[in-house]
Amino acid sequence: MLEDKISSPNLGNLVKKTIHIPIEQNFFCLRSLNPNRTRFEVEYSLEKGSCTNSFILKSLEDTILIHPPGLTFEKEFLKKFETLISRDSSEIKLVMGHINPNKVAFVKRMSIKYKNITVICSNPGAKLFKEIWHQRKPNNNTTTNQVIEKEESLPAIQIIRQVETFLLDNNFELTFIPAPTARWPGGLIVFEKQTGLLMSDKLFGAHVYEEKWAEPNSTSTEDERRHYFDCLMAPMSNQVNSIIEKFEEFDIDTIIPGHGPAISGSWRSLLNNYQSWGESQKYNNLRVALLFASAYGNTAAIADAIARGISKTGVKIKIINCEFTSSESLITEIRKADGYLIGSPTLGGHAPTPIVSALGTLLSEGNREKPVGVFGSYGWSGEALELLEKKLKDGGFKFGFEPIKIKFSPDPSMIKKLEETGIQYGKKLINAKLRQQRKANVGLNTSKSDPTINALGRVVGSLCILTAQKGNEDNLLSGAMVASWVSQASFSPPGITIAVAKERAVENLLHKGDSFALNILEENNYQNLLKQFLQSFKPGENRFNGLEIKLSPGNQPLLNEALAWLEGTVNQRMECGDHWLIYAEIKYGKVIKKDGLTAVHHRKTGANY
């Protein structure tokens, strides 16, 4: 039901802030909220705001801050923190659920105000923390000879090497659970026994602006949590499932992730969803090895977007962090892969040592007939990417796409282009596999002789062009696709359903709350529009080039040659095999040519469009 949705409908009225949520005496949550999209990683693309959960436990001896926020919330968080914890506190222990430059920068700022700080993290986390602490981050206004910031003294570090339990003097009992993944090798999850609270950090997150402690039911944030999973967790679902299996040892009452509201009564359902979502790849006999290292998080953001696109095609992708992968494991993954992607930052004019080593392994073990791709970010220069490109070309590898070189971090339009690049790369692997299968079957297409499939093909639908756009003038995202699986679904309110293949580039603009236009085509006047929208577009290419476009009341693109149009808002999404079924409520519509007839799509088989 609409009133059960937890995400706020009008983010324009909300402000960036940190709020205090009591859990138990001397145990509370500081939730930092932001209605704006200040970061452009693919996980934030729903643009429903975000919240970051941190936790404070006060004991007689010290204060424990679990999962501190990033630098984004420095001002709001520290202002609230100082009202609860005085600066002359004996000791503050910071439990780092994962390590990235944004988190380390926050610790640096906090250490200026609170001198006696100890960082608690996993062994890989400690390695990353030290590396990032001493890094010099470039920006648009600096050169290699300039010092970016004053070096602060490295705080004391307490390392968690395996599952460890600490009993505090106020009867709280904390268990630290190392949870390494390729994306976050320093992952650390915390369980508090007295409250049954699992502070899961990156697992089970959802980017929504929400002040309430917990979600009202198991489906209120399902779309947001699924999107978050697809963007970040799907490429490493095996590792994620291994971590989830550890939770059976704990008497969990509530799960509270690093982002989004808590999950209480329905947390087992969410665990089951995580396991089932990871099994949805249709072509899991195809796999891509994605090798990367990331100094400031920008290269990782690029990797996430490309991996998201590949996953949408149903191809399995294996993310490999070269800093924390043995040479034996790397060789195994390269030998099993059907394609290779390698991404690197440029540090001091060079590629990081782990990437140089991984490149050598790829050159010696990789199959030259399998497509390769190079990507990465840079600040002052891009020598690392030039090295990767040259070595792989000289080594006889065929490129699946042109090398991707991005200065600093990708913006929303580039994220969309990266995702479309991943989709095209995945489709190339699928088409190559299908060609091999057709040769093996001597050209026999079994679906042509299947009476059920042939009967399914007799279901007809109207020919339409679905168009959508989102964002503002600076970051306007748009997309379109030919749609023929369209049907009216309700009278009151007026509604329609549309089936959208998972690998469609426009699918990411069709989440709950998004608007779109359905341009219904005319029987004797649709060939030009079909030719326009059935062509193969390059990643990031404008689908509307050369067309005259008008806008609906909700600013959705309308095609002049259409018979009629409808504007709808997505209300529900249901996963149906290799498609999403979109249910939308219709807000506006108009018949342009009253004497025209709707173009209908007839098929001979139900095996394809």
Q: Do residue 560 and residue 501 come from a single domain? A: yes
In a domain, 382, yes or no: yes
Model pLDDT, residue 62: 86
Of 60 and 128, the structure prediction assigns the larger pLDDT to 128
Cα separation of the two ends of the chain = 33
pLDDT at 479 over 90: yes
- Confidence check: pLDDT of 140 > 60: no
Is residue 292 included in any domain, yes or no? yes
For residues 111 and 117, the answer to whether their CB atoms sit within 8 Å is: yes
C-alpha closest to that of 97 among 66, 70, 65: 66
For residues 581 and 499, the answer to whether their CB atoms sit within 8 Å is yes
If pLDDT is split at 50, 70 and 90, which confidence band does 480 have? very high
How many domains does the chain fold into?
A: 3
Same domain, 272 and 292: no
* Same domain membership, residue 72 and residue 153: yes
**522 and 454, same structural domain?**
yes
Residues 42 and 155 in one domain: yes
Is 60 exceeded by the pLDDT of residue 537?
A: yes
pLDDT at 150 over 70: no
In this structure, the answer to whether residues 271 and 231 fall within a common structural domain is yes
Residues 290 and 362 occupy one common structural domain: yes
Assess contact for 520 and 566: CB atoms under 8 A: yes
Does the residue 442 lie in any domain? no
pLDDT band at 491 (very low <50, low <70, confident <90, very high): very high
Scan for tokens 């006047």, then name that residue: 525
Q: Supply the range of the domain harboring residue 479.
A: 449-601
Q: Is residue 559 part of a domain?
A: yes
- Three-class SS of residue 79? helix
pLDDT for 404 equals: 96
Long-range pairs for 169-173: beta carbons < 8 A, 24 or more residues apart:
169/59, 169/60, 169/61, 170/26, 170/57, 170/58, 170/59, 170/60, 172/26, 172/27, 172/57, 172/59
Both 357 and 396 in one domain: the answer is yes
pLDDT higher than 50, residue 131: yes
Output the domain CATH number for residue 310: 3.40.50.360
166-180, 295-309, 444-458: least confident range? 444-458
pLDDT, one tens digit per residue, over 515-528 is 999 999 999 999 99
Tell me, yes or no, whether 367 and 491 share the same domain. no
- Give the residue from 232, 250, 277 where a domain finishes: 277
What is the reported pLDDT for 527? 94
**One domain for residues 352 and 493:** no
Same structural domain, 495 and 349: no
Say yes or no to pLDDT of 581 above 90: yes
CA angle 383–231–337, rounded 5-degree value = 65
Of the candidates 227, 245, 277, which is a domain's last residue?
277
> Is residue 2 one of the residues assigned to a domain?
no
Query: What's the pTM value of the predicted model, to 2 decimals?
Result: 0.88
Query: What pLDDT sits at residue 137?
Result: 60
In a domain, 607, yes or no: no
Q: Is residue 566 part of a domain?
A: yes
Q: Is residue 143 pLDDT above 50, yes or no?
A: no
- Shared domain check, 152 and 18: yes
What percentage of residues in the chain have a pLDDT greater than 70? 93
Q: Tokens 């704990």 belong to which residue?
A: 250
Q: Is residue 383 packed enough to be buried (19+ CB in 10 Å), middle (13-18) or exposed (0-12)?
A: middle
For residue 515 the two structure tokens come to 């608007």
Say what the pLDDT of residue 152 is.
74
**Predicted pLDDT at 3:** 31
Q: How far apart are CA 549 and CA 551, in angstroms?
A: 7
Task: Please check whether residue 341 is in contact with residue 375, taking contact to mean a CB–CB distance below 8 angstroms.
Answer: yes
Q: For residue 606, tell me if it sits in a domain.
A: no
Query: What is the identity of the amino acid at 83?
Result: T
Based on its alpha-carbon atoms, the radius of gyration of the chain, rounded to whole angstroms, reads 26
Q: Which of 277, 304, 328 is the last residue of a domain?
A: 277
CATH number where 20 lies: 3.60.15.10
Low-confidence winner among 203-217, 275-289, 320-334 (lowest mean pLDDT): 275-289
Q: Which of the two residues, 45 and 176, has the higher pLDDT score?
A: 176
> Can you tell me the mean pLDDT for 128-147?
66
Residue 562, number of CB atoms within 10 A of its CB: 24
CA 443 to each of CA 234, 245, 432, 512, 603: distance values in angstroms, whole numbers, following the listed order: 34, 45, 14, 42, 21
Instruction: Name the average pLDDT for the chain.
Output: 90
Q: Grade residue 339 by pLDDT with cuts at 50, 70 and 90.
A: very high
